[in-house]
Amino acid sequence: MQPAHHLVLVGPMGAGKSSLGRRLAQAYALPFVDLDREIEARAGRDIPALFADEGEAGFRARERAALVDVLAGPACVLASGGGAVLADDNRAAMRRHGFVVYLKIDVPEQLRRLADDTSRPLIAGDDREAVLERLAAFRAPLYAETADLVFEPAGLDK
Ligand code: S3P
């Protein structure tokens, strides 16, 4: 049997991967998978707890395992986490098993959308803007190289 082909959303925190993914899944009558929620369900702990207990490296290993399994499963719309493109293997797997859409968003818009967020350990400190700028500089080329399509959404509620 041919492996399923998924619709995979990539992009930074706050880009709207989950909200748009949910809508697309409904539109295409496909299951929706939010990779962060999948990781939490498997671990029985939320992401802040995973980062606290296992560090970012532990979280990334869980992210990798969940991604591989979801991509091996039935066709779905998958909202990945903002750092899922960091690993070469993850990017290759997304491209191999999916059509990848990059939801682009700039740092000022991220700051607005994530203003009340307390669920993302990477921006838990006071220097949010600097952190987001640093992540964007490193990751934007990775999102772009993974994507089949780049989309700049506007007006989505996360
Ligand atoms: C992360 C993004 C988060 C989550 C974790 C790490 C990142 O997902 O996976 O907090 O490295 O950018 P969202 O992009 O859904 O916020």
Q: 32-71: per-residue pLDDT in tens? A: 999 999 999 999 999 999 999 999 999 999 999 999 999 9
Report the separation in Å between the CA atom of 74 and the middle of ligand 1, taken as the mean of its atom positions.
23
Is the ipTM above a cut-off of 0.95? yes
Lining residues, ligand 1, CB within 6 Å: 13, 17, 36, 47, 81-83, 120-122
- Claim: this prediction has a pTM higher than 0.90: yes
Checking if the pLDDT of 132 tops 50, the result is yes
Q: Is 77 domain-assigned?
A: yes
Which tens digits make up the pLDDT trace of 75-93? 999 999 999 999 999 999 9
Which atom belonging to ligand 1 lies closest to the Cα atom of 14? Answer: 16
CA distances from 38 to 116, 136, 152 (A): 23, 24, 26
CATH number of the domain that residue 58 is part of: 3.40.50.300
Report the separation in Å between the CA atom of 46 and the middle of ligand 1, taken as the mean of its atom positions.
12
Q: Is 124 domain-assigned?
A: yes
- Tell me if 82 sits within 8 A of 136, measured CB to CB: no
Given this model, what pLDDT does residue 155 score? 54
SS3 43: helix
How many structural domains compose the chain?
Answer: 1
Q: Is 156 domain-assigned?
A: no
Checking if the pLDDT of 130 tops 80, the result is yes
**In angstroms, rounded to a whole number, what is the distance separating the alpha carbons of residues 38 and 63?**
9
Q: Which domain holds residue 127?
A: 6-151
